[in-house]
Structures are given as C-alpha cells and as structure tokens.
Amino acid sequence: MRDAGMIERAPLLNALTHVLMIAGLLIAAFPIYVVFIASTHDLPTVNRVPMPLWPGEHLVQNYTTVWNKSDFGAKMINSLIVATGVTIGKITLAALTAFSIVFFRYRARMLIFWAIFITLMLPLEVRIVPTYAVAADVAEPLRWLVWLFGFELGIAPINLLNTYTGLILPLVATATGTFLYRQFFLTIPDTLVEAARMDGAGPLRFFREHLLPLSRNNMAALATIMFVYAWNQYLWPLLITTDARMATATMQLQKIVPGPLFGQPPVWNEAMAATLLVMVPPLLVVIFMQGAFVRGLVATDK
C-alpha cells in the first residue's frame, strides 16, 4: 500500500480518487453492460429513449433468434478455428525464426531479422487491395520468386478466397512475436548451450528439450495477445469470404445490421445479442489470463 503506508492525510484527495476510479469503472463497463441489457429486451423496449437499465425477460428468445437466423454457432466455430490457427502459426514461426537467428551463426541472419521487422511498417490496411489480389492467386508471387532464381515454372493458380488457409496464412507472419522470442533467447546463457552440446544434443533436441520448456511464460503471453488479435480481425475476413459458410463471427456483425447509420435502424436487441457473443471469447481470455495478457502487450510494445 504505497500511500496508505505513508501515514499521510489527504482525505479530500482520497475521496476524489475514489470518485474518479468509480467514474472510470462506469466508463469502462457501461457500454458492455448496455450491450447485455439491450440483448434482454423486446424490440419496443429496446427502442425506448433512454433504454431502461435493468434486464428484461427476452434474453433466451433474442439469443436463440440471432443464433438460428445467422447460423452464429458455425461462425463462432470459424472464428475459433481462425484464431487458434493464427495463434499457433505465429508462435511456431516466431520461435523457429528466433531460434535460427540467435543460435546459428550465418551472415544473412541480421538481414532476415530486419526483413521480418520491417513488416511492422506495412500493416494490412495499407496494402489491402494487392494482398487481396495475392489471396485470389497465391501462385503469382511464387512464379515470380521461381523466375527470380532463373527458372520458368508453370504453377497452376492457387485461390485462397473462401478457405481457412486464406483466412489464416496472411496473418501468421509476426514481427512482434519474432522480436519477443529473440529477446528471450538472447537471455539464455551460453553455458546452457554448451552443456547441452556436451550431452550430445543437436540443435533440434536443444530446442525441444531446453528452449521450449523455458519459454513457457513467453508463449502464454504471446498466445493471449495473438488470440485476441486474431479473433478480432474484421477487414480481412470481410474481404476474402463471400461464402456464408466461411464467415467469421466478427464480420457477421456487419451482415446483421443494415447499412451505416442512415436508413432503417437495426433490430437493436438482436444486434446487441450478436455483439455480446462476439465480445465474450476474447474478454474471457483477458479475464482469465490477465497477467499473461498484460505481460505480452507491454513486452512486445506492438
């Protein structure tokens, strides 16, 4: 107890601090509470201004309607597949890349590190149109790569639109994850590597038996922030899925409400039920993995 331990009287300031903390709590929680309350009322009640702040009796009905009308279960499963795939992919690639550039000695490793690090400056949103073109035929850059090495190869077009691969693969490369793993691997003492080699362990065994168990905290931190990041993806799935069977829960929100602000208002009670369904999984991750989540955020610094 920092202040309390300091035998310091500031009753007025303490009262003000409590008021501000409660105000902060209201600001942080009110929108989430409103979403929940709105999802428990029938349509006339939810459209009342201002909406009542106590729960209604139509919770089950609203959620059943949303769940069945837009096949939300399937969308939640798609989101779960994508989020899990992206998380596992990012952790695997980050660990393997960092292992290579920290524990092997070769000239190109700094070049490789920077080639990955620079992608931080190329967020999906600014290269969205050409990335979509790549997803429509991923063989195009491959043909070009092969040509660069002096070969001419007819690779048949590979279309990733409306596939899990297309939803996952473009999001898997990770500069922050690689950076985090590199920082962690750099703290591993040389003596550990030497001891492992003395025991006759090759690089892969060293990776599996020493590095992976040691990096468990790192992995948890990375996994929580990456899962939340991947579940919350919106623009990318919106673009590359036209087949309703491949839609994710987050992008489904756009399908549930009519166009932006103008024209007819959304069916608010159902829209809010869908919103809550989309909110809950990442919120649970943050609630149960709070420590790892905060550590991951602060350590990667984006």
Partner 1 sequence: MDRRATFDNLWLAGALVAPQILLVIVFFYWPTMQALYWAFSTQPPFGGTNQWVGWQNFQQIFADAVYWNSVRVSIIFAALSTALSIGMALLLALMIDRQLAGHKAYRFVYFWPYAIAAPAVGLAFRFIFAPDAGFVSAINQLAPNLWNPALKGWDAMILIVIANSWKMMAYNFIFFLAALQSIPRGLIEAAAMDGSGVLRRARDIQIPLLAPTLFFLLVINITESFVDSFGIIDITTGGGPARATDLMVFKIYSDGFKGLDYSMAAAQSIVLMLLVIGLTFVQFRYVEKRVHYA
Give the binding range for partner 1 (CB under 8 A) out of 55-63, 68-76, 103-111, 211-219: 103-111
Report which of 138, 137, 124 is spatially closest to residue 235, judged by C-alpha positions: 124
Give the binding range for partner 1 (CB under 8 A) out of 55-63, 69-77, 187-195, 214-222: 187-195
Contact call for residue 145 and partner 1 (CB under 8 A): yes
DSSP assignment letter at 150: T
Residue 272's alpha-carbon distances to 38, 257, 265, in angstroms, are 6, 10, 13
Give the binding range for partner 1 (CB under 8 A) out of 61-69, 70-78, 89-97, 215-223: 89-97
DSSP assignment letter at 262: S
Within 65-84, the residues that bind partner 1 by CB under 8 A are: none
Q: What's the closest the beta carbon of residue 38 comes to partner 1, in angstroms? A: 6
Among 93, 136, 146, 161, binds partner 1 (CB under 8 A): 93
Among 222, 226, 273, 278, binds partner 1 (CB under 8 A): 278
Q: What's the closest the beta carbon of residue 54 comes to partner 1, in angstroms? A: 14
Residue 238's alpha-carbon distances to 227, 234, 248, in angstroms, are 18, 6, 8
Contact call for residue 103 and partner 1 (CB under 8 A): yes
Q: Which is nearer to partner 1, 33 or 243 (CB)?
A: 33
Name residues whose C-beta falls within 8 Å of residue 46's C-beta, 6 or more positions apart in sequence: 38, 268, 269, 272
Q: How far is CA 98 from the centre of its chain?
A: 21
Vertex 139, ends 136 and 140: CA angle to 5°? 80
Contact call for residue 138 and partner 1 (CB under 8 A): yes
211: which 2 tokens? 């590095």
Among 173, 214, 217, 220, binds partner 1 (CB under 8 A): 173
Residue with structure tokens 């290579």?
100
Q: Which is nearer to partner 1, 184 or 231 (CB)?
A: 231
Name residues whose C-beta falls within 8 Å of residue 142's C-beta, 6 or more positions apart in sequence: 155, 158
Contact call for residue 125 and partner 1 (CB under 8 A): yes
Longest dimension (CA), the chain: 80
Contact call for residue 8 and partner 1 (CB under 8 A): yes
Q: What's the closest the beta carbon of residue 152 comes to partner 1, in angstroms? A: 18
Q: What's the closest the beta carbon of residue 57 comes to partner 1, in angstroms? A: 19
47: which 2 tokens? 């459209």
Contact call for residue 153 and partner 1 (CB under 8 A): no
Contact call for residue 232 and partner 1 (CB under 8 A): yes
Q: What's the closest the beta carbon of residue 72 comes to partner 1, in angstroms? A: 13
Contact call for residue 172 and partner 1 (CB under 8 A): yes
Q: What's the closest the beta carbon of residue 100 comes to partner 1, in angstroms? A: 4
Vertex 235, ends 63 and 275: CA angle to 5°? 20
167 within 8 A of 237, measured Cβ to Cβ? yes
